[in-house]
Amino acid sequence: MCSLLCASASSFRYNGLSVVYFLFLLSLPLMPNPSLVTMKGKTGNFLRRIIYTSLTFLTLQCFIFSSVDPGNIVRLLAPDVGLLFSSLFVLRLCKKLLRPVPQVSMHENGVPPPDAEVTAGEEETSETDSEGGSDTEGSYFDTGLRLLLAAIMNTAGKVVATLLLGLAGITLPSLTSGVYFGVFLWLVWWWVFSRSISLLLFSSLCVMMAIFSGGHLLALYLYQLPLSQQLVPPEDIYARLFGMTGVVRTNSSDPHILGLHPHVSWPDFINPLVLLLLYYTLVALLHKWAHVTEEVCEGGMEASFQALLFNFKLFYSILKCNIPCYYIVNMLAAVWSITYNSWLTFALLVWSCIIWMMRDRRRYAMLSAPFLAVYGTVLLALGFLSGLRLSRAELYPGLPPVFYSFSFWLMFRQQLKERQEEQTLKEESLDEVKVLPQNFLTCSQTILPLSINSFLHLVALFLLVSSITAEESPPSPLAAMLISGVKGMLVKYWMLFCCSMFFMVSFSGKVVVYKILYIVLFLFCVVLYQIRYDVWRRVLKTFWAVVVGYSMVVLIAIYMYQFRSVSGLFRQIMGMSEEGLRDLGLERYDTVELFARILLPAVFLLACILQLHYFNSDFLTLTDLDNVPVKKIKPSDKQCVDTGLHMFFQSFCKYLRSFLLSARLVKEQIGDGKSQETLDSVGLQTCSEKEAGEMEETTEEGNYSSRPKTAHSLYRLQEQSWRLLELHSLKIVSSGIIWVSLQEVSLMNSLFLVLWVFALPFPRLRPTASSVSAVWACVMVVCKMFYQLKVIKPLDYSSNCTAVSSHYCLSELRGNMMELLRRSILYIEPVDPVYWCGALLKCEGRILPCLRNHLMVLGLLAFEATVHRHQLYFRLHNDLKSPPFSIIFQGITRQHLDHGVLPCIKYFINFCFYKFGLEISLIVAVNVIGQRMDFYALLHSCALLAVLSRRRRKAIGEVWPKYCCFTAVLMVLQYLLCVGIPPALCVDYPWRSAVQPLTSNIIKWFYLPDFAMRPNPSFIFYDHLLLLCSSLQWLVFEEENRAVVRLIAGDNVEISRSLDPCSFNQFIPVDNFLHCRCYLDMVKVFVFSYFFWLVLCLIFITGTTRINIFCLGYLVACFYFMLFGGSVLMQPVRYILRLWDWLIGYTCFVIAMKNLLSLGSCAYLDSLLKNGCWLIQAFSMFCTIKDYDVPAPDDECELPEGEAGIVWDAICFTVLLAQRRVFLSYYFLYVVSDLKSSKILASRATTTKGWGNFCGPSY
């Protein structure tokens, strides 16, 4: 507190009086800590001097401020007043806290009473207990922080002093700070050569540096006085060389007003603070080491610390095995060269690249360690000398280079240590006993308590142990397990990280040529992986080597181009303009931007080098599908595999528990007489902890029995997820690629649609479609990236169609044609022909959104290949065969359908589309019609009627390939209409340029190409969904003829339509469900007995929801089946199906007619509102599709907006198809038989009752 007060008093005022306060600030750390003795001696006298001095200065200054303004009076008197009262407060507080111990009363003979000892012992015990209680119940944060600082000052005092010396030397380079920097370099090099510094020698050095830093601080403060700056101005060469920076400037006319010099920067303010921190730290360390003698620590302390070292061996072995020193050195060398762009640091970049290319990198890195250490020190010295110049741009130049050079020194020190170890092993090959270094036990005689609650203290101790461990030891089993697991994960997934880095390097910032070459390499790798997996594996190592070499060339070229001479030489040799060189990626940056530009390629280079040299061989072994190891695990071994993870975490917790216990041992070693008691208490606690741990393990054994089941469930979930991806990968890939081609309609993208439209119905074309699509997607990506270069200027070759439109006379434009021509892309702006060809456009610096679609195509194809190869590996590894049919649950066949609800659900998950694919395809066709309601929807309606007219499944199967080809050709035709003719020809379509042009609504309904209202390409996606279902159903038609499929999934053959229910028991393959023996039978009763009446209710709702002529047919059919439904159900199946097919045909006819009438409701609604309102009301005509120009509602003719559409017709069509399948099921024959039996029993009951009434009067 006194230090802060003296510093504040010295900072607010700069005159001779404040110099005295500054001397108090420098003298304060030399005073001993307050105690009963020191308060009566040096410390108390020092506080009294501060009080008397501040009181005297305050009294003297009260008479000389007659001409000073009030603000400056407060500033000038505040230091004296504040220091006076604060010093009085500190003095009174110290006297109050440091009261003398009360004296014990004596008898006359001088012997204390017998109760005195007891009282004193009780007081001491209570005081100790209260101290322990307060320490236990106190704040853990405060205790941990205090112990951490104490440990740092005691065990790491030399390190802290060294770091502060280096910081003081590089903060503000000068001849004076060069002393600190020189001492720092000497200490570092002494440490590099593994030389120990005795405590006496280091204390002497601290004394000299404390005296020097104190004098340096005093000289800096005296230089702020006006007289000093008048004698030696701040611009003088000697002031600049010796670091005498003038911060405060005094006005000569008004000396009470202070200001700052204009050249002052933040290092000028930081430098005194660093020097003051160095001074106080050195004095504190000298106080700490004043009574320390160089003796060996006690044996108990050595044993406890060795126990702590044993537990740290796990973490240190992991660190040493996974983070070699030369990795960090190579990275920091590249970072140093990037941070400070010069020819001197360029050598570091070249060295880093050469080391990475070497096969034995560690050996060559260690051989070059002496050169690097010396070279880094030379660069530091040169940077320090450059900081002596006048330029403020070179201020504070030393901190990053010092950090980088430290890695060189560390590697050089490691090399020297390895040489010493090799020499020691040769001399004492039989000595296997590890002894702690002597300098460690002598450098720190007292280890203060460790704060286990402080994570920072844990890390500090870990680094300390790592630095003193000289000999390498094999990793513990737990460390080996951790290393193996981490390496296995990196082998599998490091390539994904490299691929993501490809994206970051290629798409960060603007597009240049070297980034295009990066993406070309990446696309080559992905395409080869998707097309030829065997070739991809053979060239993978060469690929990574090419990437590493190319990255080094890019890195060096960008770095060298930053030099003015090299950039001018490039322009002369290549003969390109500045803009062309920027397109290549050669551009000069400032230091910050250069670091950002080069850091990403450097990190990518490191990632690729790790993949090439460390993970590639294991990755190739792991992904070899020709040599897949077959897993043979016994049932007993499987449980061991499930418990492996639990055993790993259990052993890890044991290591961590023993480590924390050893840390507590070191904490309790205070050095007094309580050591043995502490160890005994810790030993007792250890026993109790072991017993508690055994009880916990016994308790966990009962709970662990369910863990293998959970692990097995997760394994099964993962297996089923991969199987789902395998089954639906075709749907995902085809839908994604067609969606991409519809998002960017162009001539080049039409290849995607044509390939996959015909690959869906024809499976033989799918491999070709995948390969060609992958290559074509790469071509599109590269073309789009090249189009972003500044050299390509679209305005140079765009077509200007505005002059062509001059032949249109304004008098000839009728209606809304003037507005439509303004909306046409021909006349809005110059037309770029490249956009029509490949949807290429300038992305304005955001290239990734422009490439998103084609990159998604490539990703989908790679995803499909990955899924299929994963499943192949899984089956080879587990010795499994490929399923004969596309199913999810293995072992579920037709025989399991009647075994319960769960087997029934599994069966339908497996074979739902196999059983109901035809109905699903027809429902999708109706949905496509409802979503489009245009000319091509009318064609779909006609095709649907043609398919349903065949009635029988076998006949439909014969015509189904033609239906698939019809849908595919229709999709290709529509896409070509969306592409249209090139707008760069400046020729409009005839329906626009005719004397009587068509309206936009008619053009939209007929799906005609147009420059003003382009066809909606999303309609084609509905056709794709129909084609996808139709193609899958075509496959079902082929699969249901295979005997193995019929055996597993059952047959799809329709029952005989002339089958008599009275004699079907010998033919029917299913059991009677009407007795409801399980919940599944209840569901069957509802479906086969009552669903017919639910269908009639839906038909009735369809007919009554809307009022038009079409609904009349639904009502007639509903009333007929409700009136004669009971008798109709007992008729033969062929009779029921004939009536039901007529009803389905009527529904399809209604859908087709509404589609045809949509031409009038969407294109000619304006004319119908004026002349045909009765037609609108009779057929509920209203346009339900968006983007049509519909007239506003008319009061004279109300539009039936809520009654239009085919939603209810589609619902009716769906339930009618479902009921038709019910009629064709063997289960329905039981229902018919039951109805006939009920009718016979009812007729017999009526006959019996009538006979009884007839015989009654005879009695």
Which SS3 state, helix, strand or coil, does residue 259 take? strand
Give the DSSP letter of residue 749.
Answer: T
Where is 260: in which H helix or E strand?
Answer: strand 258-260
Rounded CA separation 359/259 (Å): 62
Give the DSSP letter of residue 252.
Answer: S
Q: Give the DSSP per-residue string, 840-868.
A: ----TT-HHHHHHHHHHHHHHHHHHHHHH
What angle, 0 to 180 degrees and rounded to 10, lies between the N-to-C axes of helices 953-979 and 750-759? 180
Rounded CA separation 337/591 (Å): 11
Are 1133 and 1057 in contact by the 8 Å Cβ rule? The answer is yes
First and final C-alpha spacing in the chain: 130
Q: Is the pLDDT of residue 6 over 80?
A: no
Does 100 or 1045 have the greater pLDDT score? Answer: 1045
Rounded CA separation 711/640 (Å): 12
446-455, 572-581, 706-715 — which is least confidently predicted?
A: 446-455
pLDDT at 676: 38
Cα–Cα nearest to 412, from 329, 355, 337: 329
Average pLDDT over residues 594-620: 84
Which SS3 state, helix, strand or coil, does residue 200 take? helix
Task: Work out the burial of residue 516: count CB atoms within 10 Å of its CB; fewer than 13 is exposed, 13-18 middle, 19 or more buried.
Answer: buried
Cα–Cα nearest to 471, from 436, 502, 505, 446: 436
29-33, 494-498, 810-814, 960-964 — which is least confidently predicted?
A: 810-814
Rounded CA separation 499/497 (Å): 5
Mean pLDDT, all residues of the chain = 74
Does 1073 or 555 have the greater pLDDT score? Answer: 555
Rounded CA separation 1033/1016 (Å): 28
Q: What tens digit of pLDDT does each residue of 660-673 get?
A: 555 455 444 434 44
User: Which tokens in the block code for residue 1174?
Assistant: 């009765």
pLDDT at 1007: 93
Instruction: Tell me the pLDDT band of 1142, cut-offs 50, 70 and 90.
Output: very high
Are 548 and 612 in contact by the 8 Å Cβ rule? The answer is yes
User: Which tokens in the block code for residue 1013?
Assistant: 């209202």
Does 1129 or 550 have the greater pLDDT score? Answer: 550
Q: Is the pLDDT of residue 428 over 80?
A: no
pLDDT at 728: 92
| Alpha-helix residue ranges (DSSP H) falling in 886-949 | 901-932, 935-948
Give the DSSP letter of residue 1054.
Answer: P
Rounded CA separation 857/734 (Å): 9
Average pLDDT over residues 154-181: 78
303-317, 535-549, 645-659, 1168-1182 — which is least confidently predicted?
A: 303-317
Rounded CA separation 348/343 (Å): 9
- Three-state SS string over 779-818 comes to HHHHHHHHHCCCCCCHHHCCECCCCHHHHCCHHHCCCCHH
Render the burial of 208-231: b for 16+ CB within 10 Å, e for the rest: ebbebbbebbeebbebbbeebbee
Which SS3 state, helix, strand or coil, does residue 98 take? coil
Task: Work out the burial of residue 382: count CB atoms within 10 Å of its CB; fewer than 13 is exposed, 13-18 middle, 19 or more buried.
Answer: middle
Q: Is the pLDDT of residue 655 over 70?
A: no
Does 293 or 786 have the greater pLDDT score? Answer: 786
Q: Is the pLDDT of residue 962 over 90?
A: yes
Q: What tens digit of pLDDT does each residue of 922-932 get?
A: 999 999 999 99
Q: What are phi and psi of 1206, to 5 degrees?
A: -120, 30
pLDDT at 394: 40
- Beta bridge mates, 259: 249
User: Positive or negative, the Cα torsion across 1197, 1198, 1201, 1204?
Assistant: negative
CA-to-CA separations, 6 to 3, 19, 82, 451, in angstroms, rounded: 5, 10, 10, 33
Contacts of 345 (CB under 8 A, 6+ apart): 336, 337, 339, 379
Q: What tens digit of pLDDT does each residue of 887-896 get?
A: 888 888 888 8
What angle, 0 to 180 degrees and rounded to 10, lies between the N-to-C axes of helices 325-339 and 591-610? 150
CA angle in degrees (0–180, nearest 5) for 1000-1002-1005:
110
**Pairing relation of β-strands 248-250 and 258-260?**
antiparallel
Instruction: Tell me the pLDDT band of 933, cut-offs 50, 70 and 90.
Output: very high
445-459, 543-557, 947-961 — which is least confidently predicted?
A: 445-459
Rounded CA separation 501/520 (Å): 14
User: Which tokens in the block code for residue 472?
Assistant: 């390498």
Residues above pLDDT 90, as percent of the chain: 23
387-401, 492-506, 711-725, 1155-1169 — which is least confidently predicted?
A: 387-401
| Tokens 């594996």 belong to residue | 537
Instruction: Tell me the pLDDT band of 695, cut-offs 50, 70 and 90.
Output: very low
| Tokens 């270069």 belong to residue | 789
pLDDT at 707: 53
> CB atoms < 10 A from the CB of 1174, how many?
10
Which SS3 state, helix, strand or coil, does residue 14 take? coil
Rounded CA separation 729/652 (Å): 41
Q: Is the pLDDT of residue 387 over 80?
A: no
Rounded CA separation 836/833 (Å): 5
**Virtual torsion, Cα 454, 457, 458, 463, nearest 10 deg:** 160
Does 1021 or 50 have the greater pLDDT score? Answer: 1021
Rg of the Cα atoms in the chain: 46
Average pLDDT over residues 144-171: 70
Are 203 and 289 in contact by the 8 Å Cβ rule? The answer is yes
Q: Is the pLDDT of residue 139 over 70?
A: no
Contacts of 1233 (CB under 8 A, 6+ apart): 1061, 1062, 1064
- Three-state SS string over 130-144 comes to HHHHHHHHCCHHHHH
Rounded CA separation 1203/948 (Å): 27
CA angle in degrees (0–180, nearest 5) for 1238-1240-1241:
65
Q: What tens digit of pLDDT does each residue of 346-379 get?
A: 777 777 777 766 766 667 667 766 767 777 767 7
Rounded CA separation 306/320 (Å): 19
pLDDT at 860: 95
Give the DSSP letter of residue 747.
Answer: T
**pTM value surpassing 0.75:** no
629-643, 790-804, 1034-1048 — which is least confidently predicted?
A: 629-643
User: Which tokens in the block code for residue 686?
Assistant: 């250890």
Q: Is the pLDDT of residue 842 over 60?
A: yes
> CB atoms < 10 A from the CB of 1, how many?
10
Does 302 or 595 have the greater pLDDT score? Answer: 595
Instruction: Tell me the pLDDT band of 1037, cut-offs 50, 70 and 90.
Output: very high
Cα–Cα nearest to 968, from 1020, 1032, 1033, 913: 1020
Are 208 and 276 in contact by the 8 Å Cβ rule? The answer is no
Instruction: Tell me the pLDDT band of 560, cut-offs 50, 70 and 90.
Output: confident
**Virtual torsion, Cα 495, 498, 500, 503, nearest 10 deg:** -130
Average pLDDT over residues 665-684: 40
| Tokens 């005094």 belong to residue | 250
Instruction: Tell me the pLDDT band of 1066, cut-offs 50, 70 and 90.
Output: low
> CB atoms < 10 A from the CB of 894, how many?
17
Average pLDDT over residues 620-628: 88
Are 125 and 434 in contact by the 8 Å Cβ rule? The answer is no
Q: Is the pLDDT of residue 1151 over 90?
A: yes
pLDDT at 963: 96
Rounded CA separation 645/653 (Å): 12
Rounded CA separation 70/1191 (Å): 82
- Of 198-212, 271-285, 545-559, which one has max mean pLDDT? 545-559
Amino acid symbol at 247? V
> Where do the domains of the chain lie?
1-99, 493-628, 635-699, 723-803+817-1049, 1074-1239
